Amino acid sequence: MIYLNNKLVPRDSARISVFDHGFLYGDGIYETLRAYDGVVFMFDEHIDRLFRSASMIELGVPKSPDEIKKAVYKTIEANRLKEAVIRITISRGAGPIGLDPALCPEPTFVIFASQFREYPVRFYRKGVNITIAGIRRNYSRALDPRIKSLNFLNNVLAKIEAKKKGAYEAVMLNHRGYLAEGTISNIFFIRDKVLYTPSPKVGILDGITRGIILDAARELQIKIREGRFRPEDVYGSQEVFISNTTMEVMPVAGIVKVMTFPAPGDFTRLLHKAYKKRVAEYIERER
């Protein structure tokens, strides 16, 4: 069952117009969430970011935060899910051909939820390979990465490059050649017992999972450095991992045709364990 605008409809009946500006121009936003045992993790933070994205493209959200929460849980329950991946999508809506947002009188609002499929165990036991992509991250003054927009072609091109190189994920540089983020992840690396990660100032999405990892590191008294880093800074690392809502903390085994890393390393294990603890505490608190 898909939640479309104001009601649940069967998947095969969930249709939007070919004149929807999300389809025509990528004019819209989204959020991906994860439910553990029927509880949506970090729900308020995801909703806040959804509204932030909407405000940054001057898109009216057709529902209040509480209405969105109710609609999400209604969708999860209708699909009889406990472990789930949820996506909320809001597009500018249907309207005549043209870029003017005023052409679209009503946004299109969609929620779908599907069974969460565990990542292969070997990914966490042995790590995944990444590549430093030739495709650069969008310049923040052209399209701010803090907007989780439907304009994903930049990431798609980097993903294509990764697949051609035999890598699981591609990490992009910004327009000045500093490390930014992956196509679907943030990147972290450990050097001399210090946790490094690119600063939001280089032009990245400040991932919710990223924030939890940094909070956990502070609690564990791990030194943190957010800043501007070159690929060479990663090459000298003892550990590397990537993160997002669904993969949590994913160890990196190597950079294709460049070097390998111990995976998972001690810090990666420690931070993943701390992340899991945060999840368990949150689920218990929200029940």
For the annotated catalytic residues, the residue numbers are 148
Distance between start and end Cα atoms, the chain:
24
**202, 179 Cβ separation under 8 angstroms:** yes
Q: What is the distance of C-alpha 216 from the center of its chain? A: 19
Q: CA 35, CA 3: separation in Å to the nearest integer?
A: 17
CA distances from 154 to 53, 107, 213, 222, 273 (A): 18, 24, 26, 33, 32
Q: CA 194, CA 248: separation in Å to the nearest integer?
A: 20
Torsions phi, psi for 102 (to 5 deg): -65, -15
Chain position carrying tokens 């100032």? 201
Number of neighbouring beta carbons within 10 Å of residue 42: 19
**129, 253 Cβ separation under 8 angstroms:** yes
State both tokens at 48: 């806040």
Q: What is the CA radius of gyration of the chain?
A: 19
Beta strands in the chain (DSSP E): 2-4, 7-9, 28-36, 39-40, 84-91, 108-115, 128-132, 169-173, 179-182, 186-191, 194-198, 223-227, 239-244, 248-255, 259-260
